[in-house]
Structure 1
Amino acid sequence: MEIAFITISDSSQDARIRYVSNSIEDLLGYQPHEVINRSGWEFLHPDEISLAKGIYQRAVRQDKAAALNHFRVRHRAGFWVSCECVFTVVCNTLFARTTVCREGLKCKSKHMCKP
């Protein structure tokens, strides 16, 4: 069974995380209270922040129905995890479902997947 975590972020430029499910600990090592009210950009690989912000801003402007993207996300222990993120924007609120891209599973990420 694939493990995923859910986040709800506001539509501010910082994409502040307002809610995260407990399963984030299983995938990225963080407890929910460690990420709530922090900018979502803090957790992305520096090389991908600009791209992610552009995708986010377009999605909020267009009230996008759904989108799939791949990003490297920082694990609490400091290493990078390739993740697949499906998100939708509803009433200026971003709802996202994130899973780890694992070797052997279909992964469209240009980055090496974490085994």
Structure 2
Amino acid sequence: MTMTTAYPVLPLAAGTLARALGNAFNLVVVSVKAVARAIRHRRDAQMLASLDGRMLADIGITRADVHDAFSEPLWADPTALLSERAIERRINRARLRVVTWEGDSKAFRRPPTNRPARQAI
């Protein structure tokens, strides 16, 4: 008499199939969210492109930055480049301000006056 062992094949296969389907569904959901986010960011960058140069300067970017952002591939986020450029300019402006006030020879100085000092009588 031989003994055979029965392995529960169906529950293991069902669990593996459920995990595989769940992973596939998750991949589809993540892809759809990425496409929706890319469309939203492109729309935001398009709105920035419609602003004039003065308004772009207030934000800290230039028309060339907007052009560079739209030159990137479709899957790249154009707003990320615009954000980086604005931050770089803000940091450089702050660095210039610190150097200027520390007594650099190129810093703004009040012109000398040739008037005599006021004297109290």
**What TM-score bracket applies, with the shorter chain setting the length?**
under 0.3
Larger Rg: 2
- TM-score (norm. length: structure 2): 0.23
Give the structure, 1 or 2, with the largest relative contact order (CA under 8 Å, sep 6 or more).
1
Greater per-residue helix proportion:
2
